Structure 1
Amino acid sequence: MGGVLRKLPIGIHDFEKLRKGDYLYVDKTALVWRIANIGKTYLLTRPHHFGKSLLLSTFKAYFEGKKELFEGLAIAGMEKDWSKYPVLHLDLNAEKYETPDDLLAMLNQHLEKWEAVYGDEKREWNLEGRFGYVICRASEQFGCGVVVLVDGYDKPLLKALGNDALLDDYRKTLNAFYSVLKSSDRYLHFVLLTGVTKFAQTGMCNDLNQLNDISMMSQYATICGITQQELEDTFMPALNQLAKENELTYEETLNKMMALYGGYHFCEFVEGVFNPFSVLNVFDGYKFSNYWFQTANPAFLVELLKKREYDLRTLIDGIETSVSSFTEYRVEANNPIPLIYQSGYLTIKDYDKRFGNYLLEFPNDEVRYGFMDFLVPYYTSVVDDERGFYLGKFVRELENGDVNAFLTRLQAFFADFPYELNEKTERHYQVVFYLVFKLMGQFTGAEVLSARGRADAVVKTPKYIYVFEFKLNGTAEQALQQIDEKGYLIPYQADGRELVKVGVEFSAEKRNIDRWLY
């Protein structure tokens, strides 16, 4: 698909602008045609920055009959008629949504735009009345059904999470507005709502339950995101340039792209996709970085995890769960997992046919280490700008064999803990250890092991293999003794690197690491 100079559509969500500007485009139009021609009302959920806005814009161009924009794409060989329909495109993404009036103003703004075209005789009616009237008038004027496309249908609700009164207000307003889609059914040709969450199934709007939710259907699993084949077909020159700039082979580059940005599965047993936002950005400057994660703000999710006293270690290692427990988010249920999944921080990695259970894990290293790094200030006294500094020092100290410096620095992680050591806080300490060692894992191959019969943590550096055992209610001597008695070193004895046993004890009184022996 062209040479190196084809433009990257970074920040471009308008299909017409993308096509007329000769930007690179990953052709999803075969799926667009299929969805448009076999059903009528749909819901599609995907994480933010996953191509939903561009997808809706593609549907808009298709239903407006703009045949010339689709030349050379799959749909050109599929569509014969190119009929034109009236399209009402509602984009709820732009507003901050801090007061009830913000949502009313946004809906009013769209209604006024439509009324200027289809008639504003009912402008003194309420919002839903005006919406219904516009749909009816558009249908009459065109002599056919109307197409309604809603981008970010749940955006106001997501912005109001944590503010129950505002959330309730938005829910009532949107309930009334979206209910028009059911009452106006005879005037509608096609409806597609996109968003991040599935509020529709949770009392958000019972009238939306008639929507066909295609979010986890295998035939549409790749409609947002980029498959490996699409990556190689569309971005081959960019991949070669990325390899060259980073002194990697093509194969190594592809593997690194997969490790960092691939691995999203929106249905069991289907191929994974790459995050389109990170893919475009890595080709912009030819540097590997956490592009998507930097645009995310999981603060609300982390607060939810803390409030629930959720054991982070299960989140980090992967969660086995039934489908309902990660697709149906209910605010009052206070279960953070559905929202964490829908926001793109967890994805489907395996499926147990027999019991119908899914394994949810971080999709890739960008999300894994980004999320864990984000957690550190919430569970320790370390502030944002110190995290990278600490991590780099930790790794270098162990690489240099300086156990004392490493554990002295680790003490700083536990400073200023706000509560007494008890069963609850015992897990808190374990989680902090877990985070530190897991974050080091990206540089040292650190493993944190919770199974009995294995040490608490193992860290491998070029010269050393460290085996750590921590005692919350015991001594450093007992920790070392346990390493010997349980044979924790045995798996590493043939390795050739120097083996270092480290026994660490906690003091309930000091609420910190107190002594260590190695």
Structure 2
Amino acid sequence: MKYPIGIQSFDQLIEDGYVYVDKTDLVYSLVKEGKIYFLSRPRRFGKSLLVSTLKNYFLGKKELFKGLKMETLEKDWLVYPVFHIDFNGGNFTNPGELNLWIKAYIDSWERDLEFETDKDLPIGLRFMEILKYAHTATGRRAVVLVDEYDKPILDVLDVNKDLEEEHRNILKGFYSVFKGADEHLQFVFLTGVTKFSQVSVFSGFNQPNDISMHCKYEALCGISQEELDAIFRKPVESMSEVYKCSYEEMRAMLKSHYDGYHFSDSMTDIYNPFSLLNAFDAQRISDYWFKSGTPTYLIRLLSHTDENMSDITGKYYAPEEFIDYKANVEQPLPMIYQSGYLTIKEFDIRRNMFLLDYPNNEVKKGFLSLIASNYFKTRESIYSWVNNAAYLLEEGKLDEFRVGLASFLASIPYTMRRKENEREKERYFHYTFYLIMRLLSVYTVYTEKEQSHGRVDCIVETPKFVYVFEFKLDGRVEDAIQQIEKKGYTKEYEADPRKLYKVGVVFSSETGTIADWKSELVLKSLNNTK
């Protein structure tokens, strides 16, 4: 099986015999049921391949669709003039680059059509003249496909305000062509990461049909669980041999690491296609998508906000809070969601509210490590420390875990934990342990549970051990242990065969590390453990 890693050309993928997950029935629905669309998906999710598929369809290349669902659906195979714009390769931090990029496309189209526009006209009007001419010359309306339409803005977002505004105005003028040339257009499709507010880029033409959260097109990009089971059983079986586990266990590992995306309230499970195909090719689970690069615009936005990830994740939101996109430093949530670092985890239909959290372990580990490294600014690698800490908990080496945790906390610069008041001190320690324990949850089974008697600070479950933690800032370790006992935090584990520990930890706001620690093995009756 040949995996199309990094291949975004539909014709090359088909001609060279790469595996293709057939989405052409959805493509057929798009082209027959609407005219102007916008689709938002994270990077490396197959948007460019989708645009290439549309391009080849509208060019009438019937032979490429042989054996695919489209072959039986389409009868006419008409050829349209297609104008494909791809902003992926541009470096739009350079002033004037966007104008040059668009002008190069227009010049190329003029050469292909053997038609020349007035060079003194604005770029948008030149494009309109080209669309009119293409319609007249071919007798068919034009098709416009724009890939990563928002990259010229994202490149300079929060870096160069003047250039950002200039790019918005250029794109607004360029896309306004679609309104004036409506009678000459057969189909328009735009992809990107974000959809900017209606008063900016899209205000110059009729609003596109945003299918980013349309249940019908939820699996238009990415790989569904049904598709994985039907097409990729052999590579999963092959990986199970490498990992010396059953097919079901291997499938579960792949699911926890790469699945978990949901793009509508239908909650269809979608795998990250880039990571999944890389894993099949290398026969190894690794963080392929995250290692391929983190958007710099996202890091810039997060550096400005006062909201910690603990304030954002694992909470319910109304659609307007993360779907009505507005890319700015005051509202990072829509950008985090659309970039693929958070996804829908539950939908409350009664309240029309969506629970947002990390989609899978690859994203959770990578994103939290990135945030933690930036937040803590430690001398010690967050990756190596978390890996070692998780191993120690899995092996029941609590004393070594305590020493390692104290050392890690001590490595955080004093300037990071120097806070002006008690509230800020508590907030710092709360967020510090949120990050640490969420990172540990990638390697262990971690749950922060609401129990009938109160909220547990932290529970870490491993195959052989369960740890119930209670944290105190500038308090007494005896009070932490007493709270675990008084609130009955360990009761639900008393029939569990794993060894159960209650752990009280006191942190010092003065030293920034562990001031006191006490762990006790919970003795269970024989009746409870049978």
Q: Distance in 2 between matches of 1:28 and 1:96?
A: 31
Name the residue aligned to 1:3. Answer: none
Report whether the alignment pairs 1:178 with 2:175.
yes
Which of 353, 359, 377 is the aligned partner of 1:357? Answer: 353
Which of 80, 101, 123 is the aligned partner of 2:96? Answer: 101
The superposition leaves residues 381-407 of structure 1 with CA deviations (integer Å, 9 ceiling, x where unpaired) of: 325x71222113323444223154244
State the shift of 1:234 in Å.
Answer: 2.5
Cα distance change, pair 463–18 in 1 and its aligned pair in 2 (3 A): closer
Q: Distance in 1 between matches of 2:77 and 2:462?
A: 62
Kept in 2, the 8 Å contact 1:87–1:148? The answer is: yes
Name the residue aligned to 2:422. Answer: 422
Which of 409, 412, 420 is the aligned partner of 2:410? Answer: 412
The superposition leaves residues 302-354 of structure 1 with CA deviations (integer Å, 9 ceiling, x where unpaired) of: 553453321322434x2201111111222347111111111111112221121
After the TM superposition, which residues 243-282 of structure 1 pair with which residues of structure 2 at under 5 Å, given as runs?
243-282=240-279
Kept in 2, the 8 Å contact 1:92–1:153? The answer is: yes
Q: Distance in 1 between matches of 2:516 and 2:145?
A: 62
The superposition leaves residues 45-86 of structure 1 with CA deviations (integer Å, 9 ceiling, x where unpaired) of: 111111111111111111111111111111111111111110
Cα distance change, pair 33–221 in 1 and its aligned pair in 2 (3 A): same
SS across alignment from 2:144: strand
Cα distance change, pair 434–114 in 1 and its aligned pair in 2 (3 A): same
Kept in 1, the 8 Å contact 2:506–2:517? The answer is: yes
Larger CA deviation: 84-93 vs 328-337: 328-337
SS across alignment from 2:84: strand
Which of 75, 84, 87 is the aligned partner of 1:89? Answer: 84
Which of 206, 211, 214 is the aligned partner of 1:214? Answer: 211
Kept in 2, the 8 Å contact 1:201–1:209? The answer is: no
Name the residue aligned to 2:130. Answer: 134
Q: Distance in 1 between matches of 2:321 and 2:369?
A: 26
Report whether the alignment pairs 1:122 with 2:106.
no
Kept in 1, the 8 Å contact 2:58–2:143? The answer is: yes
Kept in 2, the 8 Å contact 1:218–1:267? The answer is: yes
Larger CA deviation: 441-450 vs 358-367: 441-450
Name the residue aligned to 1:44. Answer: 39
State the shift of 1:497 in Å.
Answer: 4.4
Report whether the alignment pairs 1:315 with 2:312.
yes
Report whether the alignment pairs 1:160 with 2:156.
yes
SS across alignment from 1:108: helix
Given residue 124 of structure 1, which amino acid in structure 2 is its aligned partner?
D
Name the residue aligned to 1:447. Answer: 447
Report whether the alignment pairs 1:197 with 2:194.
yes
Name the residue aligned to 1:513. Answer: 514
Name the residue aligned to 2:343. Answer: 347
Given residue 194 of structure 2, which amino acid in structure 1 is its aligned partner?
T
Name the residue aligned to 1:70. Answer: 65
Cα distance change, pair 29–62 in 1 and its aligned pair in 2 (3 A): same
Given residue 504 of structure 1, which amino acid in structure 2 is its aligned partner?
V
Cα distance change, pair 511–84 in 1 and its aligned pair in 2 (3 A): same
The superposition leaves residues 248-283 of structure 1 with CA deviations (integer Å, 9 ceiling, x where unpaired) of: 222222222221111211111242211111121111
Which of 144, 147, 151 is the aligned partner of 1:148? Answer: 144
TM-score (norm 2): 0.91
Which of 331, 349, 365 is the aligned partner of 1:335? Answer: 331
Which of 7, 19, 25 is the aligned partner of 1:12? Answer: 7
Structure 2: state its 5+ residue gaps: 520-530
Cα distance change, pair 90–407 in 1 and its aligned pair in 2 (3 A): closer
Cα distance change, pair 75–292 in 1 and its aligned pair in 2 (3 A): same
Given residue 103 of structure 1, which amino acid in structure 2 is its aligned partner?
L
TM-score (norm 1): 0.93
Cα distance change, pair 395–355 in 1 and its aligned pair in 2 (3 A): closer
Report whether the alignment pairs 1:79 with 2:77.
no
Q: Distance in 1 between matches of 2:398 and 2:116?
A: 76
The superposition leaves residues 134-171 of structure 1 with CA deviations (integer Å, 9 ceiling, x where unpaired) of: 11111111112001110111111111111222211110
Kept in 1, the 8 Å contact 2:218–2:263? The answer is: yes
Kept in 2, the 8 Å contact 1:350–1:359? The answer is: yes
Q: Distance in 2 between matches of 1:302 and 1:358?
A: 24
Report whether the alignment pairs 1:494 with 2:495.
yes
Kept in 2, the 8 Å contact 1:200–1:209? The answer is: no
Name the residue aligned to 1:485. Answer: 486
Matched residues, number? 511
Name the residue aligned to 2:221. Answer: 224
SS across alignment from 1:134: helix
Q: Give the percent of matched residue pairs that are identical in Structure 1 and Structure 2.
A: 40
Name the residue aligned to 2:385. Answer: 390
Kept in 2, the 8 Å contact 1:261–1:364? The answer is: yes
Cα distance change, pair 158–235 in 1 and its aligned pair in 2 (3 A): same
Q: Distance in 2 between matches of 1:512 and 1:16?
A: 58
The superposition leaves residues 449-471 of structure 1 with CA deviations (integer Å, 9 ceiling, x where unpaired) of: 57772431223445543332221
State the shift of 1:103 in Å.
Answer: 1.0
Q: Distance in 2 between matches of 1:218 and 1:501?
A: 45
Structure 1: state its 5+ residue gaps: 1-5
Q: Distance in 2 between matches of 1:341 and 1:447?
A: 23
Kept in 2, the 8 Å contact 1:100–1:170? The answer is: no
Give the aligned CA root-mean-square deviation in angstroms: 2.2
The superposition leaves residues 414-459 of structure 1 with CA deviations (integer Å, 9 ceiling, x where unpaired) of: 4424322531232121111111122222333233457772431223
Name the residue aligned to 1:434. Answer: 434
Q: Distance in 1 between matches of 2:323 and 2:217?
A: 17
Report whether the alignment pairs 1:326 with 2:322.
yes
SS across alignment from 1:344: coil
Q: Distance in 2 between matches of 1:488 and 1:334?
A: 38
Kept in 2, the 8 Å contact 1:471–1:504? The answer is: yes
Given residue 78 of structure 1, which amino acid in structure 2 is its aligned partner?
L
